């Protein structure tokens, strides 16, 4: 390994160069100061009015606010759960104008004048909806996180079948849909249960369907 020779002269020269560069940098900063930071622009806001569980609600929202966040963060209806936040798990399912949707994929401002039903509007602990009672009876849940979305979806699915809305489980989509385990599994496939209570959910929905037939 070659020896490193450092002379007193080279040390003094490098020190003087560093001082000169520092002085030049300070002079440049004084002549060309950095621009002052500008205030962040306020997000665009919009007023939206809709009905939630039969009660009117009016909110002033950032236009980027999802329906899920409007319900949970602004109206404090925390029964509707935020799962994947990408429309893949169904935990955020609510019913809008009789149709089930993933509220995480929908902007709140799109629902001006709509009628929205969350799990809080399906039933209460004092007055359970038949679907909620059936879920309890058949152990249609374990951890319970996905259950609000499962119940909302299950209620809407039975109504879809009654209305004759077709599904991929039908061999002939022009024919009226009939209630069956295959129909239920296909229509509920967008609601994921990580605990695996699927067969119990089918049993609960079957009981409600048979009771209302």
Pick the residue with more confidence: 2 or 166? 166
Cβ proximity of 111 and 63 under 8 Å: no
Q: Could you say which DSSP state residue 71 is in? A: I
Task: Give 22-40 pLDDT, tens digit per residue.
Answer: 666 666 566 666 677 776 7
**pLDDT value of position 40:** 74
Cβ pair 116, 51 in contact under 8 A:
yes
Q: Is residue 61 very low, low, confident or very high in pLDDT (cuts 50, 70, 90)?
A: very high
pTM for the model stands at 0.79
3-state SS, residue 52: strand
- Domains in the chain, CATH or no CATH each: 44-122 (3.10.20.30), 123-213 (1.10.150.120)
Distance, CA of 63 to chain centre: 16
**Per-residue pLDDT tens digits for 160-181:** 999 999 988 888 888 888 899 9
- Residue 62 phi, psi (nearest 5): -55, 130
């Amino acid at each position: 390994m070659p020896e490193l020779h450092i002379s007193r002269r080279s040390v003094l020269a490098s020190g003087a160069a560093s001082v000169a560069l520092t002085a030049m940098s300070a002079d440049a900063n004084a002549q060309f100061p950095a621009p002052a930071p500008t205030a962040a622009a306020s997000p665009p806001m919009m007023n939206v009015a809709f009905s939630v569980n039969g009660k009117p609600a009016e909110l002033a929202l950032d236009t980027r606010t999802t329906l899920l966040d409007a319900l949970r963060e602004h109206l404090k209806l925390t029964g509707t759960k935020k799962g994947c936040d990408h429309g893949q798990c169904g935990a955020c399912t609510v019913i809008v104008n009789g149709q089930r949707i993933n509220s995480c994929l929908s902007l709140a401002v799109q629902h001006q004048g709509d009628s929205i039903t969350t799990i809080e509007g399906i039933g209460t602990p004092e007055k359970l909806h038949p679907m909620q009672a059936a879920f309890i009876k058949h152990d249609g849940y374990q951890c319970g996180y996905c259950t609000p979305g499962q119940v909302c979806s299950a209620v809407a699915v039975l109504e879809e079948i009654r209305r004759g809305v077709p599904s991929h489980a039908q061999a002939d989509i022009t024919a009226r849909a009939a209630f069956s385990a295959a129909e239920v599994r296909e229509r509920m496939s967008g609601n994921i249960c990580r605990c695996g209570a699927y067969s119990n959910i089918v049993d609960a929905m079957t009981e409600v369907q048979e009771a209302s037939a």
